[in-house]
Amino acid sequence: MTMTTPFAPSIIQENFLSLKDYSTDEIMDLLNLAIELKKPENKYLPLLQGKVLGMIFEKSSTRTRVSFEAGMLQLGGNAMFLSSQDTQLGRGETIADTGRVLSGYLDGLMIRTFHQSSVQELADFSSIPVINGLTDDYHPCQVMADLMTILEHFGTLKGKKMAYIGDGNNVANSLMIGAAKVGMDISIASPIAYAPKPEMIALAKQIAQYTGSTIEITDNPEQAVSGSDAIYTDVWASMGQEQETIERFQHFQGFQVNENLVKHAKTDYIFMHCLPAHREEEVTTAILEGPHSVIFQQSENRLHAQKAILVALMADK
């Protein structure tokens, strides 16, 4: 669709479900818009005046809920929290019916849930834009904030190397796809049993053929970190995997981001984490709080990146 506001991209998809759906130019367009909206003079532009975003949560959240709600308010609109336990979703109403009903009330929907198929079904049956706030497969909003942070810090994305150390989860999947789309190199180090799914690796490598980026999967953290510009990690047991914590802790020994591991990175590397962090597990406090850490800039950028997505999808419709 074509946007008329000068603060929105000229090319945008109807929904924001996964970065695989977006071209390199569209992603860069959104990132540049996010950087513009972050400027103090643009913080409260009423680009979504009178618009209402519904936020469906089947998984709890701090950053996702607060950043989307604050973003809508700063843009002049409103956000409505919809817990699955407080709506008919919790009593068996289908995603399809929910999407059709809410399309008559709202201007956009964000959903944070388990299955990617649920997000896709919501988008298929809604007549308003749908945003993926997180699924077990993807976390595209997080990675837009991550790419924004790297772009702010280095001034470019193409040719930069990211090392991701840890679980091959939804963040790792979206990082691979996002890096491939913008021409970054990425090396993911995970225990063999916890590497990203083969189909996700294949998808990222297919994209990388067109952008010149490299996708490396290894079980050697030092190899992954070697020559990296950014080092990224996440918790070893994500939400819903708490019963696996002890087993995972055993498998992930040797995958901690610590003072010894970061010696293999470039001297001006940045450390990233999507938070919340388990200090002294996947990362030491010294690294988390150290001079290379950009975790709170990264966290704040969730707000700005999502405001760009909201404006691109919902403004002037």
Determine the 3-state secondary structure of 314 from DSSP. Answer: helix
* Known binding residues for carbamoyl phosphate: 61-64, 88, 112, 139-142, 274-275, 302
Q: Which of 296, 19, 297 is nearest to 144 (CA)?
A: 19
Phi, psi of 288, deg, nearest 5: -60, -40
Spatial separation of the C-alpha atoms in residues 57 and 49, rounded to whole Å:
24
**Options 74, 137, 274, 306, the catalytic residue:** 274
Q: Which of 9, 73, 5, 80 is nearest to 44 (CA)?
A: 73
Q: Are 297 and 230 in contact (CB under 8 A)?
A: no
Q: Verify whether residue 234 is a known catalytic residue.
A: yes
**Options 112, 248, 273, 304, the catalytic residue:** 112
Q: Verify whether residue 107 is a known catalytic residue.
A: no
* Known binding residues: 61-64, 88, 112, 139-142, 170, 234, 238-239, 274-275, 302
Spatial separation of the C-alpha atoms in residues 114 and 129, rounded to whole Å:
19
Q: Verify whether residue 112 is a known catalytic residue.
A: yes
Spatial separation of the C-alpha atoms in residues 114 and 296, rounded to whole Å:
26
Q: Verify whether residue 139 is a known catalytic residue.
A: yes
**Options 29, 74, 146, 302, the catalytic residue:** 302
Q: Verify whether residue 223 is a known catalytic residue.
A: no
**Options 29, 137, 146, 234, the catalytic residue:** 234
150, two tokens = 């790297």
* Known binding residues for L-ornithine: 170, 234, 238-239
Phi, psi of 24, deg, nearest 5: -60, -45
**Options 142, 256, 298, 306, the catalytic residue:** 142
Q: Residue 271, CB half-sphere, CA atoms under 13 Å: how many?
A: 25
**Options 107, 137, 139, 248, the catalytic residue:** 139
Q: Verify whether residue 142 is a known catalytic residue.
A: yes
Active site residues: 112, 139, 142, 234, 274, 302
